[in-house]
Structure 1
Amino acid sequence: MANRKKKKMTKKQKEQRTKWIFTGIVLLIVFFMGLFLGENKQTGLTLNERIESFKEELVAIFNPEKEEVDQTKNQETTIRFLDAGQGSATLIQAEDGTTILIDSGRYEDKDKKIIQQLDQYVGTGGTIDLLIFTHNDSDHIGYGDLIINYYDVKEVWMNGNDATSKIYERVLDAVDESNAIYSEPKAGENKQVGPFQIEVISPNEQSDDDQNDDSIITKITVNQVIGLFSGDASQSIEKAIVEARMDVTADFILMGHHGSDTSTSQEWIQASQPEFAIFSAGKNNSYGHPGEEAINRLREQSIPVYGTIENGTITVTIHEDGTYSIQTEKGENLDEDDA
């Protein structure tokens, strides 16, 4: 994998820097005018104290990113499992605007529905703080190149397992030409993105060049609610993770491999103990997703299942107090009669 470019200062950031410098100069002039005209006498501060106070104000102006932010503060969060046909795309947005996108749908969608959805929920040209491509199959990196080109993507995660497809090459080119930070996270790494705590469960360093099994598996926590996202990882990977005694307990799971029977094993369900599960798949797809066996494994544990085939886009709203609500674009949750 070629080295990625380090993040550059964007045009917008340069404009903001110029504005901060101009504001600082104005404040500096006002400060010294007040200092020498005696307008600050009523404060009771000495000359050195006033200078130190002003220095702190300048630091806040020129380095706003240095301001301490309570990233653990609870805030309402919306998770949308987008109706991406026979693909996968999950949009996670906090009340403060922090946005994470996991996968970008299937490239065969001529209507580019994923772009329409992001325009609606993120805003044309809006910011995506973290874009995670769980692996490099075309139904997960879809229009990833357009997303990187059309939106202000701050950081991109990929699994580091090269592919030969044209869409993969287009995504790499888009990353190289962007200002986004590029990373290949491994198991055990943790990252805070706004209010989201992200724990990387897989892959580890031992790649077997299998895109599905090298999927980036993450646990994402907000307001003490945990989601488990496993890409297309198979039961063998699930088993290895469980046997390694990694904590995969979660309030909900995105079923592996679009609900395929080859994922979401009994061991995975017992280890994660989800309150509900979701799969993303296209109607009348040729793969037979979701698999009846996988759905039944969840039903046997009385775990509700929602799917984009029956429900369209599925929206999970996580409230500040740690409770959540589920809203579907159409239909109800998959029950015994929907098999």
Structure 2
Amino acid sequence: MAYRKKKKKLTKKQKQQQTRLALFVAIILFSFSMGLFLGGNDQSRTNFKDKINQFKEDWTMLFKDFSTKKNDDDLIRSKSAYFRILDVGQGSSTLLQSEDGTTILIDSGRYEDKDKKILTYLDRYVGTGGKIDLLIFTHNDSDHIGFGDLILQYYDVQEIWMNGYDSTSKVYERVLDAVEHSQARYVEPRSGETHQIGPFELNVLNPTVELRNNPNDDSIVTKISFADFSGLFSGDASTRVEKDIIEDKSNDLTADLLLMGHHGSKTSTSEEWIKAVQPKISVYSAGKNNRYDHPGKETIDRLKKRSIPIYGTSENGTVTVKVNNDGTFIVETEE
């Protein structure tokens, strides 16, 4: 994993832990000082030491009870989550949110969208200036990183993932400048890694340590799970990458939700990929009447052959999958 040096933000939980630790140390020091004043002989010092040890044990139990209660509260607040494939025209953006407030944004739409739909959605679902725990740019094509610079300026982004493949486009340069000026932690994830972001578990399937030096095939591919539900997101990775991932037998690719690769292009979402993932629903992100003919007829036919329900932003608007922590889910569409 590669990192860029960034000033790391403390989360609210970390700040609370620091405050409690400082208070604990202050009380111990104060108690010790008082013991020096009051302890006139060895016996009194021994008694005082016993009291300090008892005090430490009681304090430790208090912290343990507090932490357990907080974890229980987090579970209660995370009874459901939302996987939203946003309608950003001929581009891609997916917003994941759990009831405890954890937010993950995968890609940020197309830079040519004059309406800046992505910002409208984020204001609605995250709140202006709200927190985004993780922002993943799957790769540096302008229809995946569009308005990424504005998101980093307008919202409280905690962590950023990029694949490490450079680009010379002006859109990429703007995003990279925004990354450098942000306080977010920067990470270049690699296949085989597992990360926990709130109640979401992320398994990284691509890129490999050695990049393929292909802007699409170096896309960050992730399987993201919430409780017993999971979704697979592959950016613009082609069938070649899908094949490599499948051949790595350590990967469990089964997922309930499949976001079709490369906007449903015929060069992604192969027969083998569909068979390995075994999705219950599939979604593509594409604009109406786009010049690329996305989604490809071949891809749609492959999914229909296996009777997998198909949704798309060009036909259905934003597609929202509401997930319960027992793995059940419902699909809602704008249109």
8 Å contact from structure 2 (residues 253, 277) kept in 1: yes
Q: Does residue 150 of structure 2 align to residue 146 of structure 1?
A: yes
Q: 1:3 to 1:267 in 2, by over 3 A?
A: closer
Q: 1:259 touches 1:290 (CA, 8 Å); kept in 2?
A: yes
Identity %: 56
Q: d(CA) in 2 for partners of 1:223 and 1:208?
A: 33
Q: 1:131 aligns with which of 131, 135, 157?
A: 135
What's the offset of the Cα at 1:109? 1.0
* RMSD between aligned residues: 3.3
- Out of 167, 170, 174, which is 2:171 matched to? 167
Whole-angstrom distance in 2 between the partners of 1:8 and 1:93:
23
The 2-side partners of 1:86 and 1:6 are apart by: 33
Structure-1 separation of matches of 2:329 and 2:3: 41
TM-score (norm 2): 0.84
SS at match of 2:288: coil
- Structure 2 spans left out of the alignment, 5+ residues: 36-49
SS at match of 2:235: coil
Task: Please tell me whether residue 320 in structure 1 is matched to residue 322 in structure 2.
Answer: no
Other structure's SS at 2:180 match: helix
CA offset digits 1:96-127 (Å, max 9, x no partner): 00110000000111221111110110011111
1:67–1:134 distance in 2 versus 1, CA, 3 Å: farther
SS in 1 for 2:115: coil
Partners in 2 of 1:329 and 1:108 — Cα distance?
22
User: Could you tell me the TM-score, scaled by structure 1's length?
Assistant: 0.83
Which residue is equivalent to 1:81?
85
Closer, same or farther: CA 181–198 of 1 in aligned 2, 3 Å? same
Structure 1 stretches (4+) deviating beyond 6 angstroms? Answer: 57-60, 64-68, 70-73
Instruction: Name the residue aligned to 1:306.
Output: 311
Matches within 5 A, 1:1-339: 4-9=4-9, 20=19, 24=23, 47-48=51-52, 51-52=55-56, 56=60, 69=71, 75-245=79-249, 246-330=251-335
Q: Deviations over 1:162-188 (max 9, x none)?
A: 001111111111111111111111110
Displacement of 1:58 after TM fit? Answer: 9.8
Counterpart-to-counterpart distance in 2, 1:287 and 1:197: 33
Task: Give the C-alpha shift of residue 208 in structure 1.
Answer: 2.5
Contact kept, 8 Å, 1:203 with 1:214, in 2: the verdict is: yes
Q: Is the 8 A contact 1:75 1:223 kept in 2?
A: no
State how far apart, in whole Å, the 2-side matches of 1:123 and 1:56 are.
38
Which range moves more in the overlay, 181-190 or 49-58? 49-58
| Cα distance, 1:72–1:268 mapped onto 2, change above 3 Å | farther
Alpha-carbon contact 2:211-2:218 (below 8 Å) kept: yes
Q: Unpaired runs of 5+ in structure 1?
A: 37-45, 331-339
CA apart distance, 1:321: 1.8
Q: Tell me, in whole angstroms, the C-alpha distance in 2 between the residues paired with 1:269 and 1:72.
A: 32
Number of positions where the alignment pairs a residue of Structure 1 with one of Structure 2: 313
Q: CA deviation at 1:5?
A: 2.9
